[in-house]
Structure 1
Amino acid sequence: MTVFDTRPAPPPLRGAVPALLGYAAVRALGLVVLAVWSAARDKSAHTLLTARWDSLWYVRVADLGYGYEVRLPNGDVHSNLAFFPLLPWLERAVSAVTPLSYADAGLLVSSLASLAAAWGIFAVADHLYGRRAGICAVLLWAVLPVGIVQSMAYTESLFTALAAWALYAVLTGRWITAGALSALAGLTRPVGAAVAAAVWAAAIASYVRERRALAGDGNRPPPFVWDGSTGAPHGTSVVRRALGMLLAPLGAAGYALWVGHRSGGGPLGYLDVQAGWGNGFDGGRAFARFVAGQFTSFPSALAGVGLVAGVVLVVCLYVAGVRQGQPLPLLVYTGVVVVLALCASGYFGSKPRLLMPAFPLLLPLAVALARLRTGRSAALVAAVAAGSALYGAFWLNGSGPP
């Protein structure tokens, strides 16, 4: 299989139409169920999607810029510097040219970005495993239990779109495009570092393979490195690859350094801002204590079992991706996303949402689903979509994503 194929490829939009239509149908179902559920509880679905939790912080950045903070009774400081700027910038730009408020502009950006993310996921899966697997991968991403977040004025859809297309650019040897998209992803969420790491890993792997080819090394390259049919790269430019590597970390690094300068915390000042929110990286110790604490009583023990099962499932899916022979950049990207999500020290209820951009975890399931008969796979997806819609409505009308 040719993974790092730098030959020109047509845009995959025409082949992606069934995937995008299916994705839109799943999201529409989730929104209808949310509207009905919210109305029954005398709540506004629109408010739940645009004006709660992180959405409010992004709107405040778009409206007033940075500098707002809330000091809690225990001394912790919640600063809006914790929120990366790309979504607020887009909210402000859309609001400037339309009658939409910042909140509604954020909802529009997220809606369009979710379609771009679905297209990008299809492009990656189609490139690697074929069109049916691409459609199935998109539908599986749509029916995630917390998939309703894809329709909120949050950054998950925007980040996933940028990450998916950056990975597709890497897989097709478009290094500058990959670096530019990685930089934008780094302006969207802290986990943008995962995209930059994938670009760097792919570039280094391709360089090593290229040196082996030039040296006449007859060893067969790993399946994630290059084209096994020719044993050599298709004229990849060293300059373009270097520029891609240079661009990739600029977004995340640039914003983090700016925050450190503005807050007076130096190069690591952004970590201090995150610490004010109770966030940090402790290798998963806090999360492990949280899970263990669920087993102190019978009702919460069920939640503890669910959390353990969820973590085991994530690990098993990652191992399945390795055995599947997923390309190195996908494995690096997914690994960093998973580690950062599971090993963060705060906001344990957000972990399913934080794992949403790790779409390559779904590829082994997508390939398996694609092997089923169309009627059987459609019925299975429809059933899961209904459950996801119900859970999303229940979740947003309850604890919701912090």
Structure 2
Amino acid sequence: MSHASTTLASPAVTQQPGPRERVGPRLSLAAASGVAVGLFAVARISGAAVLAVAAWATGRQPLALLGRSWDSVWYLGIAAHGYGRTLYFHPTVIHSDLAFFPLYPALVRIVTALTPLGGGAAGLIVSWTAAGVAACGIYAIGARLHGRAVGTALVLLWGLLPHSVVLSMAYTEPVLTAFAAWSLYAVLSGNWLRAGSLAALAGLSRPNGFAVAAAVIAAAACEAYRVRRRGGRVSHRLWTGAALAPLGWTAYVLWVGRRKGNLLGGYFEVQRLWGSRFDFGRGSLHFVRQLLLHGNRFVFPMTMVIVAAGVLMYVLLVVDRAPLPLLVHSGVLLLIALGGSGFFESKPRFLLPAFPLLLPLARALVRTARARPWHATVVVCALAGLSFVYGAYLVVFAHTPL
């Protein structure tokens, strides 16, 4: 049985190492994690530098583009003034800030209250810090499952995705990914209370943050079944963690529903008026058909390629026998991206928290680096070039919602 398939099993009873015996491995793990986060930081700083050159060439300010673009403006408005902004374009097109979950603007508000920074700068600080925390969690999962080299490769690949420029912007994906990564790591470690608490915070970050709760609940149900089948008693910590996991997402959806006078459907009505709804992929298929028949801007074909690659990577993740929580988390995010209509160009961003999809590629990159280091270097450089150039294009030139 592979190591990945046993991550939810109860550990064997062994003699616990003493404090001195634990210090060495912990320091080594921290150093290895530091290398991974350092590579991630270099990747994102390099991408930001390319973006800055492109912005200055067009007479624009890079920090303004990173801190106040598209959805960032909505989040910063909530942070400064609370909820209540609504734009009326058409009876069937009404954009309300209730579509945006509250955790990120709350963090931005805290930073602006404690520092002299303005909203845009505070938003970037929150996002950059969360991206670093997320990178640590992603490394921890990769290292736990397949070793430190794979953990490092996993972080690097995540930082070099074509649309990873979002990780440098005042957006919510870094915050969601940070809570998701550490919640999933807690599940793999058997710490159910921590997993559930972090999943609840992930649910307060974004609409698709429910994917983390789904992963925790599925893993808890599987573990409870395994324990009961063996005649054991399920720990109250497991049940409590599973119960905590969906609370953040559910609380906000119900709060919006109560505010709109429709407890269960109010939030989904807000999303529908934005043009976002789950229609099992009909809207996406129609958009792809129009794209193939009539063509369109470069962003849309690139989006189609990225989403198709996500589907392929999920198949590889299943074949690789990844742990159940990683499969559920990535699968739910992929399902939401495929099945949701509206804002087709934003689908790659919705998949940024689905970092487990990169695990098979990270393992392949490590094998290539050991056998043919030059080949691995060429691959990484090619990915970096694509990520930096495409990221600058998205933010500076595309004029397309991210």
Q: TM-score, normalised by structure 2?
A: 0.90
- C-alpha spacing 1:303/1:179, structure 2 compared with 1 (3 Å): closer
C-alpha separation between the residues in 1 aligned to 2:48 and 2:298? 28
Q: Does 2:381 align with 1:382?
A: yes
Q: 1:267 to 1:303 in 2, by over 3 A?
A: closer
The C-alpha deviation readout for 1:208-243, integer Å capped at 9, x for no partner, is 11122227xxxxxxxxxxxxxxxxxxxx96110011
Q: Structure 1 residue 276: deviation in Å?
A: 1.2
Within a 5 Å distance, the mapping from 1:17-166 to structure 2 comes to 17-166=34-183
User: What is the aligned partner in structure 1 of residue 207 from structure 2?
Assistant: 190
Three-state SS of the structure 1 residue aligned to 2:368 is: coil
Question: What's the counterpart of residue 240 of structure 1?
Answer: 237
Q: CA separation of 1:356/1:112 partners in 2, compared to 1, >3 Å: closer, same or farther?
A: same
1:306 shift after superposition: 5.1
Residue aligning to 2:250: 253
Q: Residue by residue, what CA displacement relative to the aligned partner does 1:123-145 show, whole Å, maximum 9, x if unpaired?
A: 11111111111111001100000
Deviation at 1:74, TM superposition (A): 4.8
**Structure 1 segments (4+ residues) deviating >3 Å:** 5-12, 299-312
CA separation in 2, counterparts of 1:244 and 1:331?
Answer: 19
- Corresponding position: 1:314 with 2:331: no
CA contact (8 A) 1:186 1:193 kept: yes
Q: Aligned-pair RMSD on alpha carbons?
A: 2.0
Q: Please report how far the alpha carbon of residue 296 of structure 1 lies from its aligned counterpart in structure 2 after TM superposition.
A: 2.3
Which structure 1 residue ranges, 5 or more long, are not aligned? 216-235
Query: SS in structure 2 opposite 1:207?
Result: helix
Is 1:4 matched with 2:8? yes
Equivalent position to 1:263, from 255, 260, 263: 260
State the aligned residue count: 381
| % identical equivalent positions | 45
Distance 1:296 1:387 in 2: 26
What is the alpha-carbon distance in structure 2 between the residues aligned to residue 143 and residue 309 of structure 1?
A: 16
Please state how far the C-alpha of 1:146 moved relative to its aligned partner. Answer: 0.6
Task: Please list, as runs of the form range in 1=range in 2, the aligned pairs for 1:205-354 lying within 5 A after superposition.
Answer: 205-214=222-231, 238-297=235-294, 299-300=295-296, 309-354=305-350
Letter in 2 for 1:290: F
Q: Which residue of structure 2 aligns with residue 358 of structure 1?
A: 354
* Cα displacement string for residues 132-186 of structure 1 (whole angstroms, at most 9, x for unaligned residues): 1111100110000011100100001110111011000000000000000000000
1:60-95: CA deviation from partner (whole Å, max 9, x where unpaired): 101110111111145421110000000010000011
Match of 1:370 in 2: 366
Shift of residue 14 of structure 1?
2.6
Compared CA separation, residues 330 and 266, structure 1 to 2 (3 A): same
